[in-house]
């Protein structure tokens, strides 16, 4: 089973860029083209939040248009640059989304069970699961203890050592780690939000963040206003492949020259 993870699209409307020279809609479309060109078609594509930038209906229309070009089933969770109601209306075909409340859900029927966590706190940059979210996670993991499971969410539940982003972290990461540590069948916990690839041990499993499809967040401290610096490093995606025994993750850039060449 191949699960492709893309994150932090920050799609905008034509003519407006999040940062100078970065056309996020074009970068998201380039990622979709790379997904379509994979030798092995993905079984599922997960999107770990921040579909759009300013949370405008026109941005969601553009994001929906780009995501619709993916042939595989697409499963998304909201980030801090998202709005649940707008997602529900712009991505009405995403019937797996709960009709009300937060976007916690499971995806059944694959060799790997997918478990989505909604960490969005309306109007805030940081994320929270809360008691309800933690209890939901524990209950879902408890009900199928023999199914290999991948958990995906926007805010990483671990310290990334990206100083500004850690200030905008999931507030109850340690509590989530305690839940995950009670279950041995969690293959991976994957997130986005920090716009960099980061890996850490977490509750007896491995947690990681995907790179963004747009601008990256710089290593090191931010500016005097408390904002991070950004960089123009290559965007990328993660390929999580389950072979029946292990989940292996590959990082693939979504821009640049990725055409295979004969030696
Ligand atoms: Fe983001």
- Taking the C-alpha atoms of residue 139 and residue 89, their distance in angstroms, rounded to an integer, is 29
Dig out the tokens for 206 from the structure: 């491995």
Residue 15 has pLDDT above 90, yes or no: no
The structure tokens 């759009």 sit at 52
- Taking the C-alpha atoms of residue 110 and residue 144, their distance in angstroms, rounded to an integer, is 13
What DSSP designation does 235 have? P
Going by pLDDT thresholds of 50, 70 and 90, the confidence category of residue 171 is very high
Q: In what order do the strands lie in the sheet with 236-242?
A: 74-77, 44-48, 2-6, 236-242, 247-253
Give which of 32, 25, 27, 13 is closest to 232, Cα–Cα.
27
pLDDT at 11: 98
What DSSP designation does 260 have? -
Residue 139 has pLDDT above 90, yes or no: yes
Going by pLDDT thresholds of 50, 70 and 90, the confidence category of residue 138 is very high
Distance 262 CA to ligand 1 centre (A): 36
- What predicted TM-score, i.e. pTM, was given to this entire model? 0.97
What DSSP designation does 263 have? -
Residue 140 has pLDDT above 90, yes or no: yes
- Taking the C-alpha atoms of residue 228 and residue 224, their distance in angstroms, rounded to an integer, is 9
Share of the chain above pLDDT 70, in %: 100
Distance 136 CA to ligand 1 centre (A): 25
- 3-state secondary structure string across 109-130: CCCCEEEECCCECCCCCCECCH
Question: CB of 58 within 8 A of CB of 13?
Answer: yes
Residues 68-85 have a mean pLDDT of 97
Distance 183 CA to ligand 1 centre (A): 29
pLDDT at 180: 98
- pLDDT tens for 226-262 read 999 999 999 999 999 999 999 999 999 999 999 999 9
Distance 145 CA to ligand 1 centre (A): 32
pLDDT at 203: 98
The values of phi and psi at residue 143, to 5°, are -75, -20
The structural domains of the chain, ordered by start, are: 2-253 (3.60.21.10)
Going by pLDDT thresholds of 50, 70 and 90, the confidence category of residue 4 is very high
- pLDDT tens for 174-206 read 999 999 999 999 999 999 999 999 999 999 999
Going by pLDDT thresholds of 50, 70 and 90, the confidence category of residue 21 is confident
Mean pLDDT of the chain: 97
Question: Which runs of consecutive H residues, i.e. helices, occur in the chain?
Answer: 24-36, 57-67, 84-90, 130-143, 163-167, 173-181
Distance 32 CA to ligand 1 centre (A): 18
Residue 118 has pLDDT above 90, yes or no: yes
- Taking the C-alpha atoms of residue 253 and residue 104, their distance in angstroms, rounded to an integer, is 29
The values of phi and psi at residue 231, to 5°, are -130, 170
Distance 178 CA to ligand 1 centre (A): 26
Distance 214 CA to ligand 1 centre (A): 9
- Please count the residues of the chain: 263
Distance 50 CA to ligand 1 centre (A): 5
pLDDT at 62: 97
């Amino acid at each position: 089973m191949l699960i492709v993870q893309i994150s932090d699209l920050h799609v905008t409307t034509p003519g407006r860029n999040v940062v100078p020279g970065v056309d996020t809609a074009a970068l998201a479309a380039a990622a979709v083209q790379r997904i379509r060109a994979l030798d092995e078609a993905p079984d599922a594509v997960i999107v770990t939040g921040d579909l759009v930038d300013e949370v405008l209906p026109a941005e969601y229309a553009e994001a929906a248009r780009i995501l619709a070009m993916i042939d595989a089933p697409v499963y998304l969770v909201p980030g801090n640059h998202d709005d649940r109601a707008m997602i529900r209306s712009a991505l009405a075909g995403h019937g797996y989304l709960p009709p009300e409340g937060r976007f916690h859900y499971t995806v059944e029927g694959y060799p790997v069970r997918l478990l989505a966590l909604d960490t969005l706190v309306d109007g805030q940059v940081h994320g929270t699961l809360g008691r309800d979210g933690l209890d939901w996670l524990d209950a879902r993991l408890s009900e199928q203890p023999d199914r290999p499971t991948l958990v995906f969410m926007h805010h990483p539940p671990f310290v990334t050592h990206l100083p500004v982003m850690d200030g905008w972290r999931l507030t109850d990461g340690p509590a989530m780690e305690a839940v995950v540590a009670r279950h041995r069948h969690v293959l991976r916990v994957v997130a986005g939000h920090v716009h960099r690839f980061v890996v850490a041990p977490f509750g007896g499993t491995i947690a990681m963040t995907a790179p963004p499809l747009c601008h990256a967040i710089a290593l090191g401290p931010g500016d005097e206003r408390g904002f991070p610096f950004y960089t123009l490093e290559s965007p990328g995606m993660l390929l999580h492949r389950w072979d029946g025994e292990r989940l292996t993750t590959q990082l693939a850039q979504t821009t640049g020259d990725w055409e295979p060449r004969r030696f």
